[in-house]
A and B are shown apart, each in its own frame.
Chain A
Amino acid sequence: MENFVFAFLNADIVREAWPILWQGFLYTLALSAITVPLGLAGGVLLALLATSGPRAVRLAAAGWTDLFRAIPPLVLLVFLYAGLPFAGIDTGAWGAVAIGFFLNTGAYYGEVLRAGIESVPRGQMEAARSTGLSRGQALAHVVLPQAVRNVLPDLVSNTLEVVKLTSIASVVALPELLFQARQAQNATYNATPIVAAAVAYFLLLWPLVRVISRLENKALAGR
């Protein structure tokens, strides 16, 4: 028991590692603040192309979505970070993460939003257009708000997944929470920093998990 506390719940180690863990935590927040909007932007673009473009564009958007849903995000990230420099394109860790998340989470958000847009009856668009709204106005003010409401649980749950996914940035040495915890673990020969990182992730994301669980139960029960 004493050994367990020393190896996993060591208060001295937490105190020692606190500054870099805190810095890692802030990096994780910053990463999330960048990757979530990037993914959403990509998703809206894909969903619009997949639902309202000409047939060829719609097929291309669906193919693009499936492509980036089939490649594991870590594979994409390693390719961008370690592969592209061979072609003389060096994006750096931040660049690789930004591009990778835009492609990967954009595809996931796109798929969710596409389902949302398709769930809005066609008559809504027609009615909006007949009142004199332009296509863009009708989309922005009539169709998208309803689409987002219909798939809200999936959107929120996807956002949780994106925040969790920022932990793979540790693989390309971006100093976010997991990376800093690994550094601290290596320096102290003690697993406590990783436990501390896990606790931090849990405290950050638990409220979101509760909200999602409630939204999902309501959605499934209301079928």
Chain B
Amino acid sequence: MGGLDNFLFSFFNLKVMATYLPQIAQGLGLTVLLALLIVVSGLALGLLLALLRSLAIRPLNWLIIFTVDLFRALPPLVIIVLLFFGLPAAGLSISGFAATWLSLTLVLAAFAEEIFWAGITAVPKGQWEAARSTGLGFAQTLGHVVLPQALRITIPPLTNRTIAITKGTALASVVGVSEILGAAQSAMSFSANPSPLTLGAIAYLILFIPVVALGRWIETRFAWKR
């Protein structure tokens, strides 16, 4: 076998790819499900924390800031491993899927809280005062005046962060979840051929290239005016 033939046989083996396509497709479904769950729960929790922080209750804010710092400083894989391998020692068993979902939700929430909070503080004080002076309550001012302005400037950093964290779903393979990478790795050991891994990489490209392009578009659309 020549070099090219050998390369094609190893990495683009159509027969192997066809055999394991269903598993990889299933993995793709699992990755999408996990990513959507993380995005929804992470952003919701992050917004909730930012709103709680705007109430300006001192001890609560310290707690929020510490928690946010904690989940920004810890590598996501460390959190996943801690939940998955550590919790059983406390008598709580957790599936790999749940451990990844929970871990990445906390990580995304931490980043999102920071971004939402920065957005809220970037809205000039006069906006608060003007809205309150027209008779709007605190919650009404926040909901109808401040948040709409704050959210607009948070969109580019939030999009990029969300994309980066959803790619972390691949970490779930470490705790035995058959998402794309997990499915591709077990197919690779079964077939003794790395073509499933190529297929997995293609699946990620199909999934994330449009998302990365969207992020790039949003970034120019809401570009910083310097």
Contact = CB atoms under 8 A, between A and B. Distances in A.
Interface in B156-173: 157, 164, 167-171, 173
B57 interface: no
Interface centre among B10, B75, B86, B119 (most CB of A within 10 A): B75
Given A178-B81, A206-B69, A83 B226 contact: no
B89 A8 contact: yes
A48 interface: no
The size bracket of the interface on B is 35 or more
B188 interface: yes
A202 B11 contact: no
A72 B86 contact: no
A150 B77 contact: no
Contacts of A195: 82, 86
B197 A83 contact: yes
The size bracket of the interface on A is 35 or more
Interface in A61-111: 66-67, 69-75, 78-79, 82-84, 86-88
Contacts of A87: 6-7, 10-11
Interface stretch (B129-137, B139-147, B200-208): B200-208
A206 B69 CA distance: 7
Contacts, number: 160
A83 B81 contact: no
A191 B118 contact: no
B151 to A, nearest CB: 13
A185 B84 CA distance: 12
Q: Is the interface of B mostly helix, strand, loop or mixed?
A: helix
B73 interface: yes
A202 B194 contact: no
A150 B153 contact: no
Given A191-B86, A194-B78, A216 B118 contact: yes
Interface in A184-209: 185, 190-191, 194-195, 197-198, 201-202, 204-206, 208-209
A178 B86 contact: no
A150 B224 CA distance: 11
A182 B174 CA distance: 12
A201 B188 contact: no
Contacts of A73: 167, 170
Interface string B70-95: 10111111110110011001110000
B201 A167 contact: no
17 contacts: A7-B89, A8-B90, A66-B209, A71-B204, A78-B181, A83-B10, A87-B7, A115-B219, A194-B81, A197-B78, A198-B78, A201-B73, A201-B74, A201-B78, A210-B69, A212-B72, A213-B69
Interface of A: 3-4, 7-8, 66-67, 69-75, 78-79, 82-84, 86-88, 115, 119, 150, 160-161, 164-168, 170-171, 178, 181-182, 185, 190-191, 194-195, 197-198, 201-202, 204-206, 208-210, 212-213, 216-217, 220-221, 223
